[in-house]
Amino acid sequence: MSNESTKVLDFFQSEFGIDQKVMSDVLAAALSRGGDFAELYFEHRITSNMHFEEGIVKESSGGIIQGVGIRVVSGDSFGYAYSEDFNLESMRRAAITASQICKGGKPGQPIDATFLQAANLYPITTPSIDVRALEKLELIRRADKAARAYNPAVKKVIAMFSEEYKQVMIAASDGRLVADIQPLVSLRVFVIAERDNKPGQGSNSGAARMGLDYFANRRTPEMIGQEAARIAVQALDAVDAPAGMYPVVLAAGRSGVLLHEAVGHGLEADFNRKKLSNYSDRIGQVVASPLCTVVDDGTVAYSKGSLNIDDEGNLPNYNVLIENGTLSNYLQDRISSKHFDNKLTGNGRRQSFRHAPMPRMTNTYMLAGQSTFEELIASVEKGLYCVGYSGGQVNIYNGDFTFGLTEAYLIENGKITAPVKNANLIGNGPEVLSKVTMVANDFALSEDGGMCGKNGQMVPIGLGMPSVLVSSITVGGTAA
Question: In total, how many domains does the chain have?
Answer: 2
Quick one: 322 and 208 in the same domain? Answer: no
The answer to whether 383 and 249 have CB atoms below 8 angstroms apart is yes
Q: Are strands 176-195 and 114-115 parallel, antiparallel or unpaired?
A: parallel
Quick one: 359 and 334 in the same domain? Answer: yes
**pLDDT recorded at residue 398:** 86
Residue type, 250: L
Domain boundary among 184, 215, 236: 236
Alpha carbon distance 454, 162 (integer Å): 22
The greatest distance separating any two alpha carbons of the chain, rounded to the nearest whole angstrom, comes to 75
Alpha carbon distance 25, 39 (integer Å): 12
Structure confidence by residue, pLDDT tens digits, 183-242:
999 999 999 999 999 999 999 999 999 999 999 989 999 999 999 999 999 999 999 999
Quick one: 48 and 165 in the same domain? Answer: yes
Quick one: 56 and 192 in the same domain? Answer: yes
Quick one: 291 and 372 in the same domain? Answer: yes
The answer to whether 396 and 386 have CB atoms below 8 angstroms apart is no
- Predicted TM-score (pTM) of the model is 0.96
Quick one: 346 and 468 in the same domain? Answer: yes
Alpha carbon distance 350, 357 (integer Å): 5
**pLDDT recorded at residue 480:** 56
**pLDDT recorded at residue 367:** 99
Alpha carbon distance 341, 66 (integer Å): 34
Q: Please give the chain's pLDDT, 480 residues, in tens.
A: 567 888 999 999 999 999 999 999 999 999 999 999 999 999 999 999 999 998 899 999 999 999 999 999 999 999 999 999 999 999 999 999 999 998 776 777 888 888 888 889 999 989 999 999 999 999 999 999 999 999 999 999 999 999 999 999 999 999 999 999 999 999 999 999 999 999 999 999 999 999 999 999 899 999 999 999 999 999 999 999 999 999 999 999 999 999 998 899 999 999 999 999 999 999 999 999 999 999 999 999 999 999 999 999 999 999 999 999 999 999 999 999 999 999 999 999 999 999 999 999 999 999 999 999 999 999 999 999 999 998 778 887 888 999 999 999 999 999 999 999 999 999 999 999 999 999 999 999 999 878 999 999 999 999 999 999 999 999 998 875
Quick one: 78 and 136 in the same domain? Answer: yes
Alpha carbon distance 391, 214 (integer Å): 28
Residue 136 phi, psi (nearest 5): -70, -40
Alpha-helix runs per DSSP H in 275-422: 334-340, 373-378
Quick one: 118 and 197 in the same domain? Answer: yes
Quick one: 346 and 396 in the same domain? Answer: yes
32: domain CATH number is 3.30.2290.10
Alpha carbon distance 86, 89 (integer Å): 8
Domain boundary among 216, 236, 256: 236
Q: Are strands 244-250 and 382-394 parallel, antiparallel or unpaired?
A: parallel
- Which residues are paired to 184 by β-bridges? 164
Alpha carbon distance 115, 423 (integer Å): 52
Quick one: 280 and 134 in the same domain? Answer: no
Residue type, 401: F
Instruction: Kindly state the helix (H) or strand (E) to which residue 223 belongs, with its residue range.
Output: helix 221-234
Kindly tell me the burial class for residue 3, based on how many C-beta atoms sit within 10 Å of its own C-beta (0-12, 13-18, 19 or more): exposed
Residue 168 sits in which domain range?
Answer: 3-236
Quick one: 168 and 106 in the same domain? Answer: yes
Domain boundary among 181, 209, 236: 236
Quick one: 283 and 205 in the same domain? Answer: no
Alpha carbon distance 480, 477 (integer Å): 9
Closest listed residue to residue 204, CA positions, set 225, 178, 182, 232: 225
